[in-house]
Amino acid sequence: MVSRRFELSLLAIAVVLLAAGSALGILAVPHSLVFRLGVASRVASVLLLVLWAVNRRKLTPWIAVAMVAGVELGLDAPAAALQIHFLSDIFLRLVKTIAAPLILMTIISGVAGHGDLKGVGRMAFKSLIYFEVITTLALVIGLCAINISKAGVGMNVPEDPASSAALNSAAPIHWQDFLVHVFPENIAKSIADGQVLQVSIFGLIFGIALALTPLDKRTPVLRLTESISEVMFRFTNIVMYFAPFGVGAAIAYTIARMGPGILIHLGKLLLTLYAALGVFGVCVLLPVALLARIPVRRFLKHVSGPAAIAFATAASEAALPRVMEEMEAFGVPRRIVAFVIPAGYSFNLEGSTLYLAMAMGFVAQAAGIQLTLGQQVFMMGTLMLSSKGVAGVPRAVLVVLMSTAATIHLPPEPILILLGVDALMDMGRTMISVVGNSLATAVIARWEGELNLEAPSLAIREAMAE
C-alpha cells in the first residue's frame, strides 16, 4: 500500500508539471523545442496523475484524471481525439439504457410501497413550488448578467437568408403542446425515446393504481419492481466503470473539434455565463442549503462525482443513475429520490434556464435591438414556459432558443454565433442543473422530515464503496 505522503507528493508534482507545461504551451512558439518540452511536461503530468489514481478506489479521481487527459489529447493530438469519440457515444448509450427502467421501477416501488398517497401529492406540490421559485431566480440572474457584461454589444452580424429560414422553421413551443407531450401514448415508445417525464407520469399513475390494489395482488408486483430496481442499481455500478473512458473521450473531442482559438471570439460571453453560474451557486443554491440545514460539505462530497460526469459529457442524463445512488447514500429516502430527480429533469434545469435568459439577451444585443423592461419581462415569461421542455441531453436548449427567438420576434442570425462554443457552455450549465436537482431532493426530504432517516440499501452501500 502506497503511503499517503507519497500520494500527495505525486499529486503535487503532477500539478506543477501540468502548470509548467500549460505555461510553455501558451508562451512558446508552436513546434519549437520549448513548445515540445511543454507538451512533454503535460504528458508526464497525465501519467503521474494516472499513477496517483491507481491507488484510489473511488470513481471521482479517475474521472478528474480522464478530464485532464482528454484536454491534453484534444490539444496536442486532435486527429486521435476525433477518432475516439465513439467511447463517449458508447458510454451515453449504456447510460440511456439505465435511465428509463431505473426511474420507472423506483417510482412504482416508491409510490406503491409508501402507501400514503396524500404524502405523494404533498411532495409533488412542494417540489413544483420549489422548482418554479429557483428557476425564476436563475432567469433573473442570467438576464442581469448579460445586461451587465453587454457581451453582444458592438457585434455586426450579417443577415443570412438561408440560415434565417432554417432557424425560423423551428415551431414555437405552446403550453398546450407541452402539456400534451407530458403524458405518454405508448410507454414502450417513451422508454425507447428516453422521455423521462412521460416515463415518470406512467410510473406515478401505475404506482398509485398498485397502491389501491388489494394486498395479495399488490405484493408480488411490488416485490418484482423492487427487485428490478436493485438489479438496475448494480447495472449502473458496472456501467460506471466505463465512465472515465467516456468522459475523457468527450472532453478530447470537444477540444479537438472547436480548438482553443474559438474562445478568443466569444470569451466574454463564456466568462459571463460561468460568472453567472457561480453567482447562482453562491447566492441561491448555498443559501437554500443553509436555510434547509443541509450539511454542505457532505452534500458536495456526494454530488461531486455526478457533477463531474455532467460537466464532461454535457448530458445531465448521463449523471442521472449516479445522482440517484449518491442522494440515497446521502440520506434521502428512495421514494423521494425517485420522484424529485425525474421531475427536476423537466422542471428544474436551473443552468439551462439561466443560459436561455443570457443567450436571448446576447442575441438581442448582437442584433442591435434594445429591449425595454417590459419586453424583457415578457421574454422571461416565455422562457419560463419554454424551458420546461428542455430535455436532459446535450444542446437541447438550442431548440428552445430558436423557438423562443421566433416567438418574441428576434432575428435568428446571432444564434449561429452561439453554436461554436455551445459545447463549452453546455458543460457548465448541465453541471449546475445536476447540482441543483440533487439539492432539491435533499431540501424536499428535509421538508418532509425524512432526511437521514432511512439507511441506504445494500446495493447503494456497495456502489459507494467502489
| CATH for 182 | 1.10.3860.10
Domain boundary among 83, 106, 133: 83
Looking up cell 449504456, which residue turns up? Answer: 94
Residues 442 and 295 occupy one common structural domain? yes
Higher pLDDT, residue 185 or 30: 185
Q: In whole angstroms, what separates CA 384 from the centre of its chain?
A: 19
Please write the tens of the pLDDT for every residue from 9-39: 888 888 888 888 888 877 777 778 888 888 8
**What is d(CA 313, CA 254) in angstroms, rounded to the nearest whole number?**
10
Higher pLDDT, residue 1 or 205: 205
396 within domain boundaries: yes
242 within domain boundaries: no
Q: Inform me whether the pLDDT recorded for 55 exceeds 50.
A: yes
Contacts of residue 454, defined as CB under 8 A and 6 or more positions apart, other chains included, come to 331, 333, 334
**What is d(CA 325, CA 353) in angstroms, rounded to the nearest whole number?**
26
427 within domain boundaries: yes
Query: What pLDDT does 265 receive?
Result: 53
**What is d(CA 47, CA 70) in angstroms, rounded to the nearest whole number?**
13
Residues 132 and 70 occupy one common structural domain? no
Higher pLDDT, residue 117 or 125: 125
**Count of domains observed in the chain:** 2
pLDDT mean over 131-142: 90
278 within domain boundaries: yes
Query: What pLDDT does 280 receive?
Result: 95
Residues 18 and 139 occupy one common structural domain? no
**What is d(CA 45, CA 248) in angstroms, rounded to the nearest whole number?**
15
> What helix, strand, coil percent values describe the chain, rounded to 5?
80, 0, 20
Residues 46 and 130 occupy one common structural domain? no
Residues 400 and 279 occupy one common structural domain? yes
Looking up cell 457552455, which residue turns up? Answer: 425
Residues 74 and 135 occupy one common structural domain? no
Q: In whole angstroms, what separates CA 286 from the centre of its chain?
A: 18
**What is d(CA 320, CA 96) in angstroms, rounded to the nearest whole number?**
9
Query: What pLDDT does 134 receive?
Result: 92
End-to-end CA distance of the chain: 17
Residues 296 and 372 occupy one common structural domain? yes
pTM over 0.75: no
Query: What pLDDT does 439 receive?
Result: 93
Residues 145 and 287 occupy one common structural domain? yes
Residues 328 and 448 occupy one common structural domain? yes
Q: Inform me whether the pLDDT recorded for 402 exceeds 90.
A: no
H-assigned helices in 157-214:
161-168, 175-182, 187-193, 196-211
458 within domain boundaries: yes
pLDDT band for position 260 (cuts 50, 70, 90): low
198 within domain boundaries: no
pLDDT band for position 167 (cuts 50, 70, 90): very low
Q: Which of 31-45, 391-405, 414-428 has the lowest mean pLDDT?
A: 391-405
Domain boundary among 83, 100, 132: 83
Please write the tens of the pLDDT for every residue from 77-104: 888 888 988 888 888 788 778 777 877 8
pLDDT band for position 138 (cuts 50, 70, 90): very high
CA angle 235, 237, 239 (to 5 degrees): 70
Domain boundary among 83, 101, 132: 83
Instruction: Read off φ and ψ for residue 55, nearest 5 degrees.
Output: -90, 5
Q: Inform me whether the pLDDT recorded for 457 exceeds 90.
A: no
pLDDT band for position 283 (cuts 50, 70, 90): very high
Instruction: Read off φ and ψ for residue 283, nearest 5 degrees.
Output: -95, -15
Higher pLDDT, residue 454 or 233: 233
Residues 73 and 121 occupy one common structural domain? no
Residues 266 and 350 occupy one common structural domain? yes
Query: What pLDDT does 276 receive?
Result: 94
Query: What pLDDT does 381 receive?
Result: 75
Q: Which domain holds residue 35?
A: 4-83
Residues 297 and 434 occupy one common structural domain? yes
What letter would DSSP give residue 283?
Answer: I
106 within domain boundaries: no
**What is d(CA 270, CA 272) in angstroms, rounded to the nearest whole number?**
5
Largest CA distance in the chain: 78
What letter would DSSP give residue 392?
Answer: S
pLDDT mean over 361-369: 81
167 within domain boundaries: yes
